[in-house]
A and B are shown apart, each in its own frame.
Chain A
Amino acid sequence: MEHVVEMLNITKAFPGIIANDDISIQLRKGEILALLGENGAGKSTLMSILFGLYTPDAGRILVRGKEIQIANPNVANELGIGMVHQHFKLVHNFTVTENIILGMEPKKGPFLQTRDAAEKIRQLSKHYGLNVDPDAKIEDVSVGMQQRVEILKMLYRDAEVLIFDEPTAVLTPQEIIDLMKIMRNLIKEGKSIILITHKLKEIKEIADRCTVIRRGKVIGTVDVEATTSAQMAEMMVGRQVSFTVDKPDQAAGEVVLELKDLRVQSSRKTEAVKGFSLQVRSGEILGLAGVDGNGQTELVEALTGLRKVESGSILFKGKDVTNLSILHRIREGMAHIPEDRQKRGLVLDYTMEENMVLEIYGLPPFAKYGFLNKPEIRKYAEKLMNDFDVRAGEGPLAMARSLSGGNQQKAIVGREVAHDPDLLIAVQPTRGLDVGSIEYIHKRLVEQRNNGKAVLLVSLELDEIMDLSDRIAVISHGELTGIKMPKETNEAEIGLMMAGVSEGAQA
């Protein structure tokens, strides 16, 4: 079997942690090798070594059977290794062509020659079914399209080995399907792919083999066809993981939240939520499914007071809160796990203890006569971090920035649940998290429901919606396309509704 890339016995230590401990992986020509591991397992470090961003402390790298030193990304490029980063590296007010040629601009004298480059990009795009317009500006195209520009960037540089770092984290379900198609096309053309991910479903769908890494060590490499998702999950986490959430049947109670004909504008002044009506009851999880950008963000912001409502009303526990301040709604018993934990959920340069009282710092016992009561805040933070298994090096004194994504999210979930809210609005509560953290957060959401509280779950992950919800509402283009009970529907039907096909039209 011909190996395109071999990384043998790679060891890399950072202060206080061995990120890669004697790791070996082998990529065969024309295959998709998945690299599976929890956040912080060492996947990104390993790939950064291959891409020339780090030098390993020990170990050898072989490309096409020849031992080489990869000192910097330029060397990696020359060897035909390219990487699609999780966060794209694109200049937003440049065109697709300008972005792709950046760093190797074709010149005629002092002048830029983009025409030939654009033509080559058009050819490549057609060949691999990427459907990219070379003249479009990056700021005008979708996230999925931006990712394809990143892929084109590698193809333009004749990359043979393509590394994808969590490529689906930012994509909609439809875009994920497209990406899978593109990856298959790439393989057909003889390229080889390393796919970094912690989503088992994707691995099952597309990868040939899977190398599992846990705490810097290789646990094993398995044939994807012959291994179940549960087996791989167990290898990754080191214990058995339950995928289904135990949820006792219970009748929903009174209406906690009622939206009546709500209309909300987007930041671009277009109507994002168009006459949306919905009820959420106590003791139920209402899942709101939809493709990203269909008005969910605006709807949630209107609910929590972050965005102005154009018309319609929001009733919370029977009281009209449409024009109440954010703080007022929090005090009334609304809690919000925000979509973007680093933008909204945490002050990254505050310590964890300061973050744990983000909404209640001004209330007794945390404040008295305008002065903060630091010992009380610390006690509270310690208890919460303990209860919700938030791991941080320096405990409550750790900077929020220094925590891993999973721990940051657990801290936010803990903080919001601790307010004992009547309504918990959870937006993408498990985005980008590993299996262990997801399992944990799901349990907490169900616990809220079992305690007779209302939960509004907004998620782009259909699996999550199907598993957790008591009722599923589907939003498309800012309108409600229907409400279904999870037992009486399936992913295909919900998927159609997400695309805007309402129940009536389908029947």
Chain B
Amino acid sequence: MNRSRDIFTALMAVFLGLVAGAIFMALSGANPFAGFYYMFRGGLMNIERIGNTLATATTLVLTGLSVAFAFRTGLFNIGAAGQMLIGGLVATMMALSNNGALPKFLFIPLVLICAMLGGALWAAIAGFLKARFNVHEVVATIMTNWLAFWIVYYVIPAYFKGKLETESARIPFESSMKLDWLTNLFNGSYINFGVFVALAATAVIAVILNKTVLGYELKAVGFNRHAAEYAGINVSRNVTLAMAISGALAGLAGATYYIGYAVNMQIGILPTAGFDGIAVALLGANSPWGVLASALFFGLLHSGKGFMNAMTKIPPQIGDTIIATIIYFAATSILFVRLYDFLKKKLKKEVKA
């Protein structure tokens, strides 16, 4: 019952966001129908574009899961960007040091595990500070974001410099997450092994949250830490663990982004996907499968806006505006909840009458 309400809320937010986008397009003097046509075409018109949409969505699924998992356990992880950087840095360092020593089928799993550990440990700092000293995780993760930012800023030029001072060397194909057959299947798109990682992560998180003892404990701590404590659950341990799992997901996002989607690691950038994860989680109602769906949708908007811009006079910022408006409507979802309840009541009455 609540699930259908969540879906209704998300769809309403998307719909109103698109309507708002249409109004902006019309205001900028363009035909909204043409705008949306090119936007969706840009994301879906051929197999390569679909591949790119999926590749963009991959990162968003993982950061979305990271934020959603933290939310479900009562934590606001605003540090997915920093955890992503650490995961990405670990992956980049490994990829540039491998030199074909390990074959791909061994190397990729190893990188994924290390990136997860990197993100997990990074996030666990904030978790530990929260559990032990009651430092709010928002404050702590904002700090660790900048720590990660400056670590990358130092490490990449110092040890892994590429052609430019501001980026790492190019990730060689034998260490990259791009797979020959997958790239060929999608006509040379950015799509990479991360797509499977994201799908697997969604399923694993869904199982952890809904079916395991661990999920029961973590959610209990998230909903009511006093009651969890009363029931004998170790609250401190669970807060740290919840942050670590959330960070592990962001770490995965970093690995798939920096050695899968991208060709090198740039310095001086906090990846926006880390923050977009918050929006993805919000629209997905913090449920793993909801996150998957909303990440796909956001991925579509992200990858379609360039094409829309090329084919019409609509500025690409409209795409971002639509995303922002959807976030706004998702955040004020209580309005839709009311509407949903109202419609349901009315429907019931009519059925009775």
List the interface of chain A (C-beta within 8 A of B): 15, 304, 306, 325-330, 336, 338, 343-350, 354, 358-359, 361-362, 367, 370-372, 374
Contact = CB atoms under 8 A, between A and B. Distances in A.
Interface in B217-241: 217, 219-220, 223-224, 226-234
A372 B229 contact: no
A417 B229 CA distance: 19
A326 B232 contact: yes
B213 interface: yes
B186 to A, nearest CB: 37
21 contacts: A15-B345, A304-B230, A326-B229, A327-B232, A327-B234, A336-B230, A338-B230, A343-B224, A343-B227, A344-B227, A346-B224, A347-B228, A348-B224, A350-B219, A350-B220, A358-B220, A358-B231, A361-B213, A370-B214, A371-B211, A372-B212
B209 to A, nearest CB: 11
A362 B227 CA distance: 16
Contact of B220 (A306, A325, A347, A367): A347
A412 B234 CA distance: 21
A326 B229 CA distance: 8
A371 B230 contact: no
A381 to B, nearest CB: 14
Nearest to B210: A372
Contacts of A329: 232
B216 interface: yes
B273 to A, nearest CB: 30
Given A15-B345, A362-B213, A371-B213, A350 B223 contact: yes
Given A306-B229, A306-B230, A348 B223 contact: yes
Contacts of B220: 347, 350, 358
B213 A367 contact: yes
B232 A361 contact: no
Nearest to B341: A15
Interface of B: 211-214, 216-217, 219-220, 223-224, 226-234, 345
A367 B214 CA distance: 11
A361 B230 contact: no
A438 B217 CA distance: 32
A325 B232 contact: yes
A330 B228 CA distance: 13
Contacts of B211: 371-372, 374
B216 A330 contact: no
A358 B227 contact: yes
Contacts of A346: 224, 227
A241 B345 CA distance: 39
A15 B214 CA distance: 38
A192 to B, nearest CB: 38
B29 to A, nearest CB: 47
Nearest to B345: A15
A336 B226 CA distance: 14
Most chain B beta-carbon contacts within 10 A, residue among A327, A344, A354: A344
B230 A326 contact: yes
A362 B228 CA distance: 13
Given A343-B226, A344-B226, A346-B227, A330 B232 contact: yes
Contact of A372 (B213, B226, B234): B213
B223 A371 contact: no
A445 B111 CA distance: 59
Nearest to A304: B230
Given A349-B224, A372-B213, 14 more contacts: A326-B231, A327-B232, A330-B231, A343-B224, A347-B227, A347-B228, A348-B224, A354-B216, A359-B232, A362-B213, A370-B212, A370-B213, A371-B211, A371-B213
A304 B227 CA distance: 13
Nearest to B214: A370
Contacts of A371: 211-213
Contacts of B227: 343-347, 358
A15 B349 CA distance: 11
A345 to B, nearest CB: 7
B337 to A, nearest CB: 15
Nearest to B348: A15
A346 B224 CA distance: 8
A374 B212 CA distance: 10
A349 B233 CA distance: 17
A443 to B, nearest CB: 24
Closest 4 CB pairs of A and B: A327-B232, A344-B230, A326-B232, A358-B231
Given A326-B229, A358-B231, A349 B216 contact: no
Contacts of A354: 216
Nearest to B216: A361
A136 B7 CA distance: 50
A19 B303 CA distance: 54
A451 B214 CA distance: 35
A359 B227 CA distance: 10
Contacts of B217: 361
A376 to B, nearest CB: 13
Nearest to A374: B211
Contacts of A15: 345
Contacts of A374: 211
A330 B234 CA distance: 13
B74 to A, nearest CB: 10
Contacts of B224: 343, 346-349
B234 to A, nearest CB: 8
A343 to B, nearest CB: 5
Contacts of A325: 232, 234
B345 to A, nearest CB: 7
Contacts of A304: 230
B18 to A, nearest CB: 32
Contacts of B232: 325-330, 359
Contacts of A349: 223-224
Contacts of B233: 327
Contacts of A336: 230
A304 B230 CA distance: 8
Contacts of B213: 361-362, 367, 370-372
Contacts of A347: 220, 223-224, 227-228
A372 B233 CA distance: 16
A374 B213 CA distance: 11
A328 B232 CA distance: 8
Contacts of A358: 220, 227, 230-231
Contacts of A328: 232
B97 to A, nearest CB: 36
Contacts of A361: 213, 216-217
A306 B234 CA distance: 11
Contacts of B226: 343-344
A372 B216 contact: yes
B311 to A, nearest CB: 47
B227 to A, nearest CB: 5
A327 B233 CA distance: 7
Most chain A beta-carbon contacts within 10 A, residue among B214, B223, B228, B234: B223
A359 B212 CA distance: 15
Contacts of A344: 226-227, 229-230
